[in-house]
Chains A and B, each alone.
Chain A
Amino acid sequence: MLKSLSVLAGMLIATLALPATPWAADPDPRDWDAVLAEARGQTVYFNAWGGSENINSYIGWAGETLNQRFGVKVIHVKLDDTANAVAKVLAEKAAGKNEGGSVDVIWINGENFASMKRQNLLMAPDWTTGLPNWVYVDHENMPTILTDFTIPTDGLESPWGGAKMVFFHDTARTPADSIPHSSVELLEWSKDNPGRFSYPQPPDFIGSSFLKQVLIETIEDKSRLSQPVNAASFAEDAAPLFAYLDDLHPNLWRGGKAYPQNYPDMKQKLADGELDIIFAFNPSEASAGIAAGELPDTVRSFSYTDGTLGNTHFVAIPYNATAKAGALVLANFLISPEAQLRKQDPALWGDPTVLSMDKLSAEDRAAFAALDLGVATLTPDELGPTLDEPHPDWMEYIEREWLRRYGVAN
Chain B
Amino acid sequence: MTGDMRLARLAPPLTLAILLGPLFFGLAGTALPAFGYLPELGGEKFTTQHFSALAAVPGILRSSVLSILIGLVTTLVSLGTVAAFVASDLGTAGFARVRRMISPLLSVPHAAAAFGLAFMIAPSGMIMRLISPWATGLDRPPDLLIVNDPMALSMMAGLIVKEIPFLFLVTLSALPQTRHMETMRLGRSLGYGRIASFTYLLWPPLYRQIRLAVFAVVAYASSVVDVALILGPHLPPTLPVRLITWMNDPDLSIRFLASAGAVAQLGVTLTALLGWVGLERLGALLVCNSRSAGRRLRRDTVLRHGARAVMIASAAVVFGGIAMLAVWSVSGLWQFPDALPSSFSLRSWTQALPRMSGPLQTTLAVAGLSTLIALVLTILCLEREYETGRGRGGGALLLIYLPLIVPQISFMFGLQVLSIWLGVDASFSALVLAHLVFVLPYVFLSLSDPWRAHDRRHDLIAAGLGMSRTRTLVRIRLPMLTRAILTAAAVGFSVSVGQYLPTVLIGAGRLTTVTTEAVALAAGGNRRAIGVYAFMQTLLPFFAFSVATGLPGLLFRNRRGLRV
Interface, chain A (partner B; CB < 8 A): 2, 5-6, 8-10, 12-13, 16-17, 45, 47, 49-53, 56-57, 60, 75, 77-88, 90-97, 102, 111-112, 114-115, 119, 173, 194-195, 201, 203, 253-255, 257-265, 267-269, 271-274, 292-296, 396, 403-404, 406-410
Contact = CB atoms under 8 A, between A and B. Distances in A.
Interface string B316-346: 0000000000000001111110000001010
Contacts of B331: 293
Given A51-B521, A254-B145, A407-B236, A274 B123 contact: yes
Contacts of B509: 45, 47, 77-79, 84-85, 88, 102
B520 A50 contact: yes
A94 B40 contact: yes
A78 B524 CA distance: 11
Contacts of B41: 90, 94
The 10 closest A-B pairs by CB, nearest first: A51-B524, A408-B59, A77-B509, A293-B332, A265-B525, A80-B523, A195-B143, A9-B28, A264-B525, A272-B124
Contacts of A8: 28
Identify which of A75, A82, A102 gathers the most chain B CB atoms within 10 Å of its CB.
A102
A80 B58 contact: no
Contacts of B144: 254
B58 A92 contact: no
14 contacts: A9-B29, A10-B32, A13-B39, A50-B523, A51-B522, A51-B526, A90-B40, A97-B423, A111-B251, A258-B149, A261-B525, A263-B525, A272-B141, A293-B343
Interface of B: 24-25, 27-29, 31-32, 37-41, 58-59, 62, 123-124, 139-141, 143-145, 147-150, 233-236, 245, 247-252, 255, 331-336, 343, 345, 347-348, 351-352, 354-355, 414, 416-417, 420-421, 423, 425-426, 504, 508-510, 512, 516-517, 519-529
B520 A45 contact: no
B29 A254 contact: no
A5 B147 CA distance: 43
Contacts of A263: 525
B527 A94 contact: no
Contacts of B508: 88, 102
A273 B215 CA distance: 43
Nearest to B526: A264
B234 A258 contact: yes
Contacts, number: 207
Contacts of B249: 83, 203
A81 B235 contact: no
B335 A56 contact: no
Contact of B32 (A9, A80, A295): A9
Nearest to A170: B335
A16 B526 contact: no
A403 B417 contact: no
A312 to B, nearest CB: 18
Given A80-B522, A93-B40, A102 B425 contact: yes
Find the residue from B38, B234, B250, B508 having the highest chain A CB count within 10 A: B250
A258 B148 contact: yes
Given A17-B39, A53-B521, 20 more contacts: A10-B32, A52-B524, A60-B354, A79-B509, A80-B522, A83-B250, A90-B252, A91-B417, A94-B417, A102-B426, A102-B508, A115-B252, A203-B249, A257-B235, A258-B147, A271-B333, A294-B333, A294-B526, A407-B235, A410-B150
Contacts of A80: 519-520, 522-523
A258 B421 contact: no
Nearest to A410: B150
A257 B417 CA distance: 37
A274 B145 contact: no
A408 B236 contact: yes
A81 B248 contact: yes
A407 B58 CA distance: 7
Nearest to A254: B145
Contacts of B423: 97
A267 B124 CA distance: 13
Contact of B37 (A10, A47, A91, A409): A10
A119 B253 CA distance: 11
A211 to B, nearest CB: 16
A90 B420 CA distance: 11
Nearest to A47: B509
Contact of B250 (A88, A97, A112, A274): A112
Nearest to A50: B520
B301 to A, nearest CB: 39
A271 B525 CA distance: 13
B124 A408 contact: no
A244 to B, nearest CB: 19
A10 B44 CA distance: 11
A75 B510 contact: yes
Contacts of A272: 124, 141, 335-336
Question: Which of B32, B140, B251, B416 neighbours the largest number of chain A CB atoms within 10 Å of its CB?
Answer: B251
B29 to A, nearest CB: 6
Contacts of A264: 524-526
A90 B527 CA distance: 33
Given A53-B526, A268-B527, A293-B347, A92 B251 contact: no
Nearest to A92: B420
Given A93-B40, A94-B417, A274 B124 contact: yes
A78 B140 CA distance: 35
Contacts of B141: 272-274
Nearest to A53: B351
Contacts of A195: 143
A86 B40 CA distance: 14
B145 A258 contact: yes
B416 A91 contact: yes
A52 B420 contact: no
Given A52-B524, A274-B141, A293 B123 contact: no
A51 B150 contact: no
Contacts of A75: 510
Given A17-B40, A53-B529, A60-B355, A87 B521 contact: no
A111 B250 contact: yes
A296 B333 contact: yes
Contacts of B245: 203
A262 B525 contact: yes
Nearest to B31: A6
B335 A296 contact: yes
A179 to B, nearest CB: 18
A250 to B, nearest CB: 12
A306 to B, nearest CB: 30
Contacts of A51: 520-526
B228 to A, nearest CB: 13
Contacts of B255: 87
Given A17-B39, A406-B235, A408-B58, A87 B248 contact: yes
B9 to A, nearest CB: 25
A403 B485 CA distance: 49
A262 B527 contact: no
A8 B32 CA distance: 11
Contact of B145 (A111, A257, A407): A257
Contacts of A81: 248, 523
B524 A45 contact: no
